[in-house]
Chain A
Amino acid sequence: MIQLEKRPQPSRLWTFLTPMLAVVITMIVGGALFAALGKNPVEAIRTIFWDPLFGEFAFYYRPQLLVKAAPLILIAIGLSLGFKAGIWNIGAEGQYIMGALAGAGVGLAFYPLEAAYIFPLMVIAGALGGWAWGMIPGLLKTRFGTNEILVSLMLVYVAEQLLAKMALGLLRNPDGRGFPGSRNLQQYPSAHNAEIIAGTGIHWGVVAALIAVIFAYILFTRHLLGYQIRLAGQAPKAARFAGVNPARLTLVCLGLSGALAGLAGMFEVSGPAGQINIDFNVGYGFTAIIVAFLGRLHPVGILLAGLLLALTFIGGENAESNLGLPAAAIQMFQGMLLFFLLAVDVLTNFRLRWKTAEVV
């Protein structure tokens, strides 16, 4: 009989090993799934994990990896602040949209003026847009005790409606011959978030993601706020005893995660996406939740998890087009990753023991 025995302290080794174990189990079970669909599992796994990095067309995929990973990491870092404190912002997708709208809106307001200050202003506007959208669930929670999970999630749909409204109305390209969507910011140099080094995929969003990782790392290891966040998440009563103000912490965490999601949206709309359009958001805000947990809410873990998930996106698209795997199978594969991570998580706090029934 297998028994779970609680460890006196969480195992450090397993904290690192469980994400890798989850990836391995996902590969095995995912491979079995692909095999059941009549595809060669080894080839499918190779197409997803190997080809984008080291295959024939890696020169094209590697920059794509950074472009896709950057918003995931940036958003996930913000979410991890709240998740560690037990504050559940599920609406990063909405904050991402609002950041993009605010950033693009500021940029387009200056069109066609060319000036160096436009892009920095757009960055600030993007952060503010996301921050404001994150503060709504925060204020409602601290004032009226509403549930931030529900409010932040519902605000995603409000943001999507606003996005559609803007793409069809206020921000629509006047020269666009009636098509929905704004002007393309890639063709407006002062507002374009261009690659810093051509051909690498590194744009300002990638830089921001790296800064966010470092910032979060320092926050959690060196700063009082990071300590208070961890304390509030692990032992809320002890946090109150220590003098942590829960309402303030809620606002700080929701505001910060909103601002980072807003930044991600702003860098995306002014760079890879180029324009505000109805289908601008592709789910980065939700996938970032998986990234945050896959990365153990640890900044470096989130960096690696963001790259890994970006890899499965790119590889998954390849597998779809090259091997004819259905998109649903790829999504299932990605879902498995989080599922198995949560399942093997138990090993961090418990150890498995084989026990024979006690003889009497």
Chain B
Amino acid sequence: MTEPLLRLSGLTKAYPGVVANDDVSFDIQAGEVHALLGENGAGKSTLVKMIYGLVAPDRGFMQMHGEAFSPKEPREARTAGVAMVFQHFSLFEALSVAENVALGMETPPPMRQLSERIRDVSNSYGLPLDPSRTVGDLSAGERQRVEIIRCLLQDPRLLIMDEPTSVLTPQEVEILFETLRKLTSEGVAILYISHKLEEIRRLCDQATILRHGRKVGTCVPSETSARDMAEMMVGNSFATPARADHRAGDVILELRNLSVPATSTFGISLKDINLSLRVGEILGIGGVAGNGQDELLAALSGEVRSARDAILLQDKPIGKTDPTARRAMGLLAAPEERLGHAAAPDMSLTENALLTGLTRQNLHWHGVLKWSAARNFAESIIVKFDVRTPSANVAARALSGGNLQKFVIGREIMQRPSVFVVNQPTWGVDAAAAAAIRQALLDLASNGAAVLCISQDLDELLEISDRFAALNEGRLSDIKPASALTVEEIGLMMGGAHGMEVAHDPA
């Protein structure tokens, strides 16, 4: 056994009221891809912050190559060879690639020299990037490359990646994996954080699983099933969503050449979207983030109006109808952003139940609010959808992401929609809650509603959808039966590799 690259020993970090990490120990070997698994709030990010010098542990120590390693700030960690690609990019859209890279460096070399180095590194790792291009023009995958190259220029020995594939098409994921494999063959270790278990099975050599801040197990991902890993993360078994038999009925929602101009400078316009949604079916809409998902939901919920005939609900044109009237007609929606869009952060759950339940739940009488009825409605959502909260009086922002999501989805489903449009139903939600939400969507469809599910999680879409389409730059691909689709086809529907290529050795 060789000496590990990084040894974590008994790391403990407590915040007021919660122990984020409790006695976590494991080793990362040079040249391995090590997965860090756990639900939201399991302590993954705190652990990573300790390695990257953003947070100091209360107890325990780290060793790098056998020597004490206790970075007080990210700069020290970087000097020691730790680099990190964050889930959310920190790039300036108006600056060029090279300028963005220079901003992250302690002592940036002259721009010409830096561009040269960026070109070298990007070629040898199969991450082609023109240093002079403006970041604002790059796709999400290309932006991620800027972040990766920024890290590679430091000659890292340990590269930490937080949910790197959430913004990539399957083709782009493949390219990224090639790059990572090339890095490990050179002895770089990679700490890989993701909740996409199938990806981890393909890429990672070792996995450490955290639950409630404790290390609860390790496994070799390629030899462990995704289900076993998920159950280790959750701590017990949970039901896989299953659907009752059903058959698709009549068309209930139809979009005809729906076009909506972009509402903001960085927004996406919807272009000529056609689809028809049938009673009893779930139509899954995939796509990389920022390709018109939010805009499609807003056009359907009524927040943004379109041409009158572009949207037909039960053959009635509703393109110019306001959200309240659409709800009354049975078209309900749940947007992606929970806090601030689907729910008002500082308002109680009772008040938030009122937010969309007002008309259909009959919660007012000529404008006079029926608070007790609203409270009952909120409490019935809390019970039915297992929302963990002390009471309905708690502010929405005090709930964890998963619990609030269950509340937001439950609020709409409890109102018996005839068409339900949802964007990212399980984003940032733990595995058990995600399974419950998917089951609820399936039940909704089998009980005679139609569901339009927009998501960036392909596994989720393939699990629950009857038919599948993808959004790419505001356009909708052809709609195909989900069961017959291969991952490659889906990737092409999502826009392919956006012109990127696989890692290769320079000729």
- Mark out the residues of chain B between 350 and 382 whose CB falls within 8 Å of any chain A CB in the assembled complex: 351, 354-356, 358, 364, 367-369, 371
Give the residue name and chain of the A residue nearest to B398 (CB): A8
Interface string of A190-226 (1 = CB under 8 A from B): 0000000000000000000000000000000011110
Collect the chain A residues with CB atoms within 8 Å of residue B501's CB.
Answer: none
Given contacts A240-B303, A243-B302, A245-B322, contact A235 B340 (CB under 8 A): yes
Report A356 CB to chain B, min CB distance, Å: 12
- Mark out the residues of chain A between 334 and 360 whose CB falls within 8 Å of any chain B CB in the assembled complex: 358-360
Classify the interface of chain A: helix, strand, loop or mixed.
helix
- Asked if A187 is at the interface of the complex by the 8 Å CB criterion, the answer is no
- Asked if B72 is at the interface of the complex by the 8 Å CB criterion, the answer is yes
Contact call A8/B327, Cβ cutoff below 8 A: no
Collect the chain A residues with CB atoms within 8 Å of residue B337's CB.
Answer: 237
- Asked if B323 is at the interface of the complex by the 8 Å CB criterion, the answer is yes
A318 to B395, CA, bound (A): 46
- Asked if B485 is at the interface of the complex by the 8 Å CB criterion, the answer is no
Contact call A243/B327, Cβ cutoff below 8 A: yes
A241 to B395, CA, bound (A): 19
Give the residue name and chain of the B residue nearest to A218 (CB): B368
A9 to B390, CA, bound (A): 13
Could you say which of B56, B344, B371 contacts A238, with CB atoms under 8 Å apart? B344
A223 to B371, CA, bound (A): 10
Collect the chain A residues with CB atoms within 8 Å of residue B302's CB.
Answer: 243
- Asked if B347 is at the interface of the complex by the 8 Å CB criterion, the answer is yes
Report A88 CB to chain B, min CB distance, Å: 20
Contact call A235/B367, Cβ cutoff below 8 A: no
Report B210 CB to chain A, min CB distance, Å: 22
- Asked if B343 is at the interface of the complex by the 8 Å CB criterion, the answer is yes
Contact call A224/B369, Cβ cutoff below 8 A: yes
Contact call B346/A10, Cβ cutoff below 8 A: yes
Could you say which of A222, A243, A358 contacts B322, with CB atoms under 8 Å apart? A243
A180 to B379, CA, bound (A): 66
A241 to B324, CA, bound (A): 9
Using a Cβ cutoff of 8 Å, how many contacts connect chains A and B?
Answer: 77
State the interface size on chain A (CB cutoff 8 A). 23
State the interface size on chain B (CB cutoff 8 A). 35
Most buried by A among B302, B341, B345, B398: B341
Could you say which of B343, B354, B369 contacts A222, with CB atoms under 8 Å apart? B369
- Mark out the residues of chain A between 211 and 270 whose CB falls within 8 Å of any chain B CB in the assembled complex: 222-225, 227, 230-231, 234-235, 237-243, 245
Contact call A8/B395, Cβ cutoff below 8 A: yes
A240 to B369, CA, bound (A): 19
Collect the chain B residues with CB atoms within 8 Å of residue A8's CB.
Answer: 395, 397-398
- Asked if B335 is at the interface of the complex by the 8 Å CB criterion, the answer is yes
Report A353 CB to chain B, min CB distance, Å: 9
Contact call A231/B355, Cβ cutoff below 8 A: yes
Give the residue name and chain of the A residue nearest to B348 (CB): A9
Interface string of A126-147 (1 = CB under 8 A from B): 0000000000000000000000
Give the residue name and chain of the B residue nearest to A5 (CB): B16
Contact call A223/B324, Cβ cutoff below 8 A: no
Using a CB–CB cutoff of 8 Å, the interface residues on chain A facing chain B are: 8-10, 222-225, 227, 230-231, 234-235, 237-243, 245, 358-360
Using a CB–CB cutoff of 8 Å, the interface residues on chain B facing chain A are: 56, 70, 72, 301-303, 322-324, 327, 333, 335, 337, 340-347, 351, 354-356, 358, 364, 367-369, 371, 394-395, 397-398
A-B contact pairs, 5 of them (CB 8 A): A9-B394, A9-B395, A235-B344, A238-B341, A241-B323
